Structure 1
Amino acid sequence: MSELFDEVDEDVRRDQLKQLWDRYSIYIVAGALLIIAAVGGWRGYQYLEAKKAAEAGASFDHAVELSEQNKHAEAEAAFTELAAKAPSGYRVLARLHAAAEAATRDPQAAAKMYDDIAADRSVGTAEQDLAKIRAAGLLLETSTYPSMVARLEPLTGPDSTFRHTARELLALSAWHANDTTAARQWLDMIANDGETPASLRSRAEALQALLPPAAKS
């Protein structure tokens, strides 16, 4: 008797499953196809991105080789093209390198390129600060000390990545402007920072030795 009931229950379950399949099979199949399409699309996207990155890497290396061969015009053109077309990971690096190549022919134009990078909010903070430092380095001989302060003073704080270079550039700018008081301020800041690189500390000490005795503490 129990076997009969089991057979009936099995038939009922089979009928219920058939009814569910008849009613929802189109949705189940559509959902499965969507999943397959999504996975395939994601894999395709990953492949294309990896291909673009590999191509950009090869182009970047070629541009670096041109620079090392002193073919600066060709290198600048190559980096500029990369900055316009490469994946995001290479764009900022390419822009920085393009500006460095431009500096060999026109420091003012290169400084403008660095300033554009520094003002671009889509660029990371570290890259913005590096661009500010490089622009200031190019303009050191032609900018006034107040202009250099406006550019670099925000980068001289104790937590700034490029504070050592910013302080050195400001000390040099003040020295060029015959502002020994300001030069002493920045040189003292360099001397009192325990993390100042040894080479930069040596340069600061050499500059300090050039200051007139009245300016020394």
Structure 2
Amino acid sequence: MVDFINEVEEELRKDKYNQLLRKFGPYIVAVIFVIVAVTGYSEYSKSKVSNTAKSASAAYMSAGKIEASGDLQAAIAKFVALAEVAPDGYAGLSLTRAAGMKVQLGDLEGAVSLFDQATEKFGKPVHKDLAGLKAVYILLDQGLYDEVQVRASALAVDGAPYADLAKEVLAHAAFNSEDIDSARSQFSYLSNAPGVLSGVKARSGAALALINANRPVIKLDSKSVEGEISTPEMEIPQDGAEIKDEQE
């Protein structure tokens, strides 16, 4: 009798299981299918990104070799073309390299345009603002002080990666525009405020002394601050890895 009861219970369990399977089986299969599909797509996406980054790295290195050979026009064309198809990190780097060569060739307007395009490609503020700041130095050198005022003001907000350097540019723009009182005030702030970059503080103190002595202020350009407007985060990986430039 006990065996019979156990057999009945077993059959009932099987019937219940079969009912549940018939009822929920299609959903279970669908869930499994979705999990497999998502996992497969994720792996495919990772592989695609990796291959794209490696391809961009190879093209970037190739363009760099052309630049090293001295054919700047060809190198510019190569970098600009790469920027159109490469991931954002490589695209931004390519445009800044091309912009630097434009400066060497004397095409300052073209350089500013490429730096502006680079700001659109980069994700991190430290990269975007650096490209923007380099454009501002060119405009300052050209005497386009109204445009410098607009651009540098956007880069000079508190907490921005290059705020001190942008404020220094604004002070020079004011001086070159013959707004001496404003320039004196800005240089005074930069030379005395706590936390200001040491290079900016020193240059501002020297500029303030020259203003107070009614003497011309030493010209400011990107070469004057070369060590302060470079960042190792923008260096190209040597192994063809993807450049991490997402917005943080």
TM range (shorter): 0.7 to 0.9
Residue 236 of structure 2 is matched in structure 1 by none
CA contact (8 A) 1:56 1:86 kept: yes
Distance 1:37 1:171, change over 3 A: closer
Residue 78 of structure 1 is matched in structure 2 by 78
Residue 111 of structure 1 is matched in structure 2 by 112
Q: How many residues align?
A: 214
CA contact (8 A) 2:130 2:162 kept: yes
Shift of 1:139: 1.3
More RCO (CA 8 Å, sep 6+):
2
Shift of 1:44: 1.5
Matched, 1:58 2:34: no
More helix as a share of residues: 1
CA contact (8 A) 1:155 1:163 kept: yes
CA distance in 2, matches of 1:206, 1:55: 48
Map residues 127-138 of structure 1 onto 2, 5 A cutoff: 127-138=127-138
CA contact (8 A) 2:99 2:114 kept: yes
Residue 224 of structure 2 is matched in structure 1 by none
CA RMSD after TM alignment? 3.1
CA distance in 2, matches of 1:69, 1:202: 38
CA distance in 2, matches of 1:32, 1:160: 47
| Equivalent position amino acid for 1:173 in 2 | A
SS in structure 2 opposite 1:140?
helix
The worse-fitting range, judged by mean Cα deviation, of 31-40 and 121-130 is 121-130
CA distance in 2, matches of 1:149, 1:22: 72
CA distance in 2, matches of 1:136, 1:151: 7
Shift of 1:55: 2.3
Distance 1:159 1:36, change over 3 A: closer
Map residues 12-161 of structure 1 onto 2, 5 A cutoff: 12-21=12-21, 28-67=28-67, 70-105=70-105, 106-118=107-119, 120=120, 123-161=123-161
Distance 1:205 1:66, change over 3 A: farther
Distance 1:154 1:32, change over 3 A: closer
CA distance in 1, matches of 2:76, 2:127: 19
Give the greater-gyration-radius structure (CA): 1
CA contact (8 A) 2:171 2:182 kept: yes
Please give the TM-score of this superposition, normalised by the length of structure 2: 0.70
Residue 191 of structure 1 is matched in structure 2 by 191
CA contact (8 A) 1:63 1:78 kept: yes
CA distance in 2, matches of 1:192, 1:158: 16
Q: Which runs of 5+ in 1 are unaligned?
A: none
